[in-house]
């Protein structure tokens, strides 16, 4: 085997595995608790992940996708091959897509190690294109509690996003073998090959349109399924008279926010943006389809200006303005400061001013002590000089000859 062939095979094998964007990992930011979800749910845990945000050996990876689905910040993204497989069913001819795990006895269209390996965004995207049947018949005998918890979490989030009526209309949960039987469409040989070609082309077109290199002009990683979901929501909003409402968790900014920009800096997904308006105000703009709902902005806010993640009903996943305010700027450096600040200084300048005052006071005390020591030395020298003069006079008086007795003075 030539070196070129080996390199090509390694590239193809690596492309089938998930990718990790470490700058978005929860653990790279100061938190009270560390996240080990990806490492805990991985069937080969310690053998694949050297630590939660770094894979040491992808050779053992089974491409199950559980780490992708469980990641709270979506710093683990699926491979391009897996994305194309999942999204290709949205362009298939069947009106219903059956999804199941490897333990299922059904002939499902999408087969994963666990149904929970599909993120709720991927399920929502498929549900807005096709009716879904989730084959959950093996779940009653499954002993993997982590996968069961992940599946419940994804289904709960899916209900919140679509709403109960739309969820029930588009998704069927099959817990028994006789529920929602699989109905395969009979195709001729020519129709089968044409269908395969059309599905492949459709999936490729969706992939190329949806994934502009997985990065934008600001080098911000784009979440593929969220991008696809946003595109589908825009299509439905244009095509329907009364648009649907979708449940999205957004950070709840309060009046305590003064525009320090810490949340914008820590959001590596680029979902939060502070914009200065011509009238002198500043507004907080959130892009829901970029937001992974991780809550990193909440934990990073030192001033408690974000009251957690709140569920909001939106008709689109595009940018939305959530707060407007007028900035108060520091008189020294010009940085934003809280409105209740009385001295007009930011925390940094306040520390600098306090330090400067302390240094000036210390210098004044040192100067005073130096003057006192100089005065003490001068007094001591004067005393020593006076004592020396008195001693000299005494010595001179002693050394002077005494007059003889009876002699005139």
Q: What is the pLDDT of residue 58?
A: 75
154 located within any domain:
yes
- Give the span between the Cα atoms of 246 and 272, in whole angstroms: 19
Question: What pTM does this model have?
Answer: 0.78
User: Which contacts (CB < 8 Å, 24+ apart) does range 136-141 have?
Assistant: 136/173, 136/174, 136/175, 137/100, 137/104, 137/105, 137/106, 137/174, 137/175, 137/176, 137/177, 138/100, 138/101, 138/103, 138/104, 139/115, 139/175, 140/175, 141/103
Output 109 or 394, whichever has higher pLDDT: 109
Q: Which among 72-76, 81-85, 166-170 has the top mean pLDDT?
A: 166-170
- Total of domains in the chain: 4
Angle between helices 224-239 and 120-127 (to 10 degrees): 30
Which residue range(s) make up the domain with 349? Answer: 329-362
Q: Report pLDDT for 123.
A: 95
Q: Per this entry, what is the length of the chain?
A: 409
Model confidence over 326-341: pLDDT tens digits? 999 998 888 898 888 8
Confidence of residue 86 (pLDDT cuts 50, 70, 90): confident
Q: Is residue 286 pLDDT above 90, yes or no?
A: yes
Verify that 236 and 98 share a domain, yes or no: yes
| Residues 34-56, mean pLDDT to the nearest whole number | 80
Residue 386 lies in a domain: no
CB 214, CB 110: distance < 8 Å: no
Q: Quick one: pLDDT band at residue 197, thresholds 50, 70, 90?
A: very low
- Of 130-144, 239-253, 320-334, 381-395, the poorest mean pLDDT is in 381-395
Look at residue 257 in the predicted model and tell me its pLDDT: 94
Return d(Cα 210, Cα 122) in angstroms, integer.
Answer: 13
Domain with residue 276: its CATH number is 3.30.70.3270
Task: Quote the pLDDT of residue 3.
Answer: 44
* Domain boundary pick from 77, 105, 132: 77
Rounded CA gap, 196 and 171, in Å?
25
The residue among 28, 56, 77 that closes a domain is 77
Q: Band of the pLDDT at 310, cuts 50, 70, 90?
A: very high
Beta bridge partners of 221: 215
Do 83 and 72 belong together in one domain? no
Cβ atoms of 323 and 306 within 8 Å: the answer is no
What is the average pLDDT across 257-272? 91
Residues 178 and 285 in one domain: no
């Amino acid at each position: 085997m030539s070196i070129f062939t080996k390199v090509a095979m390694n590239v193809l094998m690596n492309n089938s595995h998930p990718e990790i964007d470490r700058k978005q990992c929860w653990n790279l930011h100061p938190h009270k608790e560390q996240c080990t979800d990806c490492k805990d749910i991985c069937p080969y845990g310690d053998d694949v992940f050297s630590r939660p945000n770094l894979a040491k050996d992808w050779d053992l990876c089974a491409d199950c996708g559980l780490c992708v689905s469980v990641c709270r910040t979506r710093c683990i993204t699926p491979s391009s091959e897996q994305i194309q497989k999942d999204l290709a069913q949205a362009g298939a001819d069947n009106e219903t897509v059956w999804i199941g795990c490897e333990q299922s006895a059904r002939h499902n269209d999408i087969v994963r190690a666990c149904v929970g390996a599909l993120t709720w965004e991927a399920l929502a995207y498929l549900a807005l294109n096709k009716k879904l049947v989730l084959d959950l018949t093996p779940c009653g005998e499954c002993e993997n509690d982590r996968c069961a918890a992940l599946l419940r979490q994804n289904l709960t989030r899916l209900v919140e996003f679509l709403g109960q009526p739309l969820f029930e209309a588009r998704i069927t949960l099959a817990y028994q073998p006789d529920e929602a039987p699989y109905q395969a469409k009979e195709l001729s040989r020519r129709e089968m090959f044409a269908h395969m070609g059309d599905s492949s082309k459709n999936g490729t077109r969706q992939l190329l349109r949806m994934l502009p290199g997985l990065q934008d002009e600001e080098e911000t990683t784009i979440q593929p399924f969220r991008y696809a979901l946003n595109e589908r929501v825009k299509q439905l909003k244009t095509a329907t008279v009364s648009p649907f409402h979708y449940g999205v968790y957004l950070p709840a900014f309060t009046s305590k926010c003064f525009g320090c920009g810490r949340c914008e800096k820590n959001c590596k997904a680029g979902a939060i943006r502070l914009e200065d308006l011509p009238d002198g105000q500043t507004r907080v703009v959130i892009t829901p389809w970029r937001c992974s709902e991780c809550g990193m902005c909440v934990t990073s806010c030192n001033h408690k200006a974000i009251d957690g993640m709140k569920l909001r009903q939106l008709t689109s996943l595009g940018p939305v303005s959530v707060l407007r305010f007028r900035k108060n700027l520091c008189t020294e450096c010009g940085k934003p400061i809280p409105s209740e600040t009385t001295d007009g200084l930011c925390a940094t300048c306040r520390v600098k001013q306090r330090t400067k005052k302390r240094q000036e006071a210390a210098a004044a005390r040192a100067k005073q002590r130096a003057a006192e020591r100089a005065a003490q030395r001068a007094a001591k020298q004067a005393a020593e000089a006076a004592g020396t003069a008195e001693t000299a006079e005494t010595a001179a008086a002693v050394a002077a000859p005494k007059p003889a007795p009876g002699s005139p003075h």
